[in-house]
A and B are shown apart, each in its own frame.
Chain A
């Protein structure tokens, strides 16, 4: 179980949080003017990377605030935690080896 450092409350166990999916997905400014494909890309398509993933979490059983987490989906290491509206931190892509079955 992850240990997540809520920027407002401090380190807490994962069970207090709810993952809110991939972060940094901007809603198109003028949806009426974009293609069906571009809109579907915004609604449905996510990157699902093996490795560094920028995602949003919400401290559901705490302050109930959203924030951003840069997490490695292979190692589960949390690389960075930052508040909404802050820029994506510059992080190296990890070199990950294949994991056992």
Chain B
């Protein structure tokens, strides 16, 4: 039984009933309803509780600006918080609950807060809970629970979202009469047009009334216009598409809702996305975003049943739902007189129109008079009865000053009140585009002024509220936008409508009442969504707030999910009133994107889960997976960390792998190391610039270690570069730094060394690298190759040879990161797995052992080799790291050289690389642990350094660590302390080299 449903009219389909649940109760609506219109039709008056005071609240608006009817929609992976009931298209089975109340909006425990509302003035956070600061966290916990709106969903989003780029000549934001006229004119002229409108049905305000265009029903004109637009191949219509954001250089984001109107989808996912984020670059933009009605600020103006007059028209005419049986209209302008006529036509008793103006007198006023509805001119609504639903109002005449009353109040029984305080152009997108707003004193609203980008505003968002003006302006905007893009097709004639003169508006920031604002029990809300009252604004001014931006933050005006669509301008007006300033002097706060919330899912699009960041794998990845490897990531690369055997944990596996390398031979996938192919006659000149050492003397077939510095002298990267031919080098970078090193060299080549003949190619992924390391590595390699002389003299450490390994063409580098005899066999990536398998097979009789990155780290730390991200952290120079030997004394210059002699770089108390051996050999220090020289009883205790690498060394049978310590080299032999969470560890500073100090194994 839909008590408040009209028997006919509207754009709903009465033959398609839909069942839904609100706060656990079943209801029925029709296709074409929104959740709000269906609730109204079912006479559900209280739809939620307010943000701060938990006051019962009803539906106020019919669109995006709705402040109260926010609901928690759906459940599980489809749950959504703070959905606006006025924009939720009804579907069968819809299930929604009010936000911010428990157990129900009619019986809400939080309402007790409202009784103590004196304790919650403007800025109460700052005042009440400032002291003692320690307790703030406790206070905040309780306050946050009491004040708030919806709850964040707990389950992961079950829906998928799309993103799409688009380019057009003209983007039209808004599909009302102005927007449709603009799209039609531009489309006829030959423009590529995108028209987006947040509603399911295009037509804008025409859907809410019965205006005529070209002497026939306005909606017939809409239908014909849409037919013509749909027939144009270069026109795209995006209903349910909100132009959310207007960014630089005419770049706009449109969020298109694809399935919300159908409810949760059984096949939700990438094949059936919920929404699509359009990223549009438009040559020209036409803004036709309409206007939002202003409320009036009077005593208890938030009671359920008090609605915006325009919304009442929308519910009556579009949804066939009436807000009640008897309604009064309260206005300061002509537009609400149409509401009174619509109400009367729908069979609602209209006992009176209360008008703040002394002498109302436009066209609509005349019609109302003829209809016999009483007009109470120069009157105000001074009190309302009915906390959970309007029962009546009191009205009284206004005195000549406009500040007080001139007579006794008179009571009028009614169950709803349609309010209009005038209209605010929806200048949000214009303002986002950085256009300047002007204040129109006649209309009492901000309108677009000077444009900043290639856009123009048309219709109500431009302060042109009459239909005739909207059609003309929209058409003109479409014509000029198309012309601006150089299109010359015929745009046709603008549609026409009757021009209906309107009387002027009477602006009152707050309506006079029985008591001044702030006295008495009544509250005068300027922002119903965030529970901000005119008294709060006045208090902020008394406390010294002047700037609109400060007053906003202090009072939280316009800071709810609606971002002040209703409350903002009324709040600014109250601020101007309290300050005794004009509206232009007060101005507005900054409009920021998005216009309405865009789901995070849409911003992420398909880049979620495994696609959030691509995983790079080597050609041997499948083998590692089959071998049960545990993976670790280095940048985007996935690499085996260790290969646990049955019953092994990480510690045991890593020890076994380390000992296998030290005692026999290990095999490792080294494919991820960055590889940059460098060719050209000036290759050596470039290397001399980017590395600290000299490269001229490196012979073909030899390798050299290089350290790369930034101009600040800090180590960026290190690695081994091989000379493959006369003018041909291969640079190895660290795994994570390959792109950075490439960028760095390319930048210098393009920006400074323009005459160099040298070319860089990233070949990291072109080569698969199998590294064999250990005393048996040569024996193993000998099994696999016949054409490379492996003898120490013919193929010494730090050299490279070409040949065939396992019958595969290969480059073999004799280089080592483990301190053992070591070969890195490079083959074309496609042969990587074949080579790996061949080496494993041949290695069986040597007990070959796959080892992962953790074992590599242990082995390199035993040798004091550096790791990017650990020892090399962007704050250390080569001198800090003891790499003096790698710095050429002969070269006149290299990148970063001058920085090494800056006074700050040669200080002796800089952090220097040292080794660290704990007094108790079993303790493995945590990496990052702070080192103190002198242990004091109480803080502060100055630290002198930190641990950069720390492992248990199986070959040494004890823990080892590397550390950066102030003046560390001079302190070698000293004992330092490391205060940890549960104990303090003592350790001795040593040289950063723990194993095979002479490098005999390397050269074996």
Residues of A within 8 A of B (CB): 1-3, 13, 20, 27-28, 31-32, 34, 36, 39-40, 42-44, 56, 58, 64-66, 75-76, 84-85, 100-101
Contact = CB atoms under 8 A, between A and B. Distances in A.
Given A1-B251, A13-B281, A84 B750 contact: yes
A65 to B, nearest CB: 6
B754 interface: yes
Nearest to A101: B549
Contacts of B434: 75
A40 B902 contact: yes
B248 interface: yes
Contacts of B746: 64
A43 B712 contact: yes
A7 B751 CA distance: 15
A34 B899 CA distance: 11
Nearest to B252: A1
A39 B901 CA distance: 11
B844 interface: no
Contacts of A101: 549, 590
21 contacts: A1-B247, A1-B248, A2-B249, A3-B251, A20-B747, A34-B898, A36-B902, A36-B903, A39-B902, A43-B712, A43-B899, A44-B712, A56-B751, A65-B750, A75-B452, A84-B750, A84-B751, A84-B754, A100-B590, A101-B549, A101-B590
Contact of B249 (A1, A27, A65, A84): A1
Contacts, number: 56
B893 interface: yes
A24 B693 CA distance: 28
A9 to B, nearest CB: 15
The CB with the most chain A CB atoms within 10 A, among B549, B747, B751, is that of B751
A29 B281 CA distance: 44
B752 interface: yes
A34 B902 CA distance: 11
A42 B898 CA distance: 11
A75 B902 CA distance: 39
Contacts of A13: 165, 251, 281
Interface string B900-944: 001100000000000000000000000000000000000000000
B566 to A, nearest CB: 21
A66 B750 contact: yes
B549 A100 contact: yes
Contacts of A75: 434, 452
Give the interface residue-count category, chain B: 20 to 34
B711 interface: yes
B897 interface: yes
A56 B249 CA distance: 19
B249 A76 contact: yes
Contacts of A20: 747
A56 B743 CA distance: 14
Given A56-B751, A101-B549, 14 more contacts: A1-B247, A3-B249, A13-B281, A27-B752, A28-B898, A31-B893, A36-B902, A39-B899, A42-B711, A43-B711, A43-B899, A66-B747, A84-B750, A100-B589
B898 A32 contact: yes
Contacts of B899: 39, 43
Contacts of A1: 247-249, 251, 279
B893 A32 contact: yes
B896 to A, nearest CB: 9
A26 to B, nearest CB: 9
Contacts of A32: 892-893, 898
Interface in B242-276: 247-251
A72 B746 CA distance: 27
Contacts of B712: 43-44
B243 to A, nearest CB: 15
A64 B746 CA distance: 9
A40 B901 CA distance: 11
Nearest to B711: A43
Contacts of B279: 1
B11 to A, nearest CB: 38
Contacts of B165: 13
A40 B898 CA distance: 10
A17 to B, nearest CB: 13
A92 to B, nearest CB: 18
Nearest to B893: A31
A31 B590 contact: no
Contacts of A56: 751
Contacts of B711: 27, 42-43
B83 to A, nearest CB: 29
Contact of B897 (A31, A44, A84): A31
A76 B248 contact: yes
A84 B752 CA distance: 9
A66 B743 CA distance: 11
Interface in B567-612: 589-590
Contacts of B902: 36, 39-40
Contacts of A3: 249-251, 281
Interface string B430-467: 00001000000000000000001000000000000000
Contacts of B247: 1
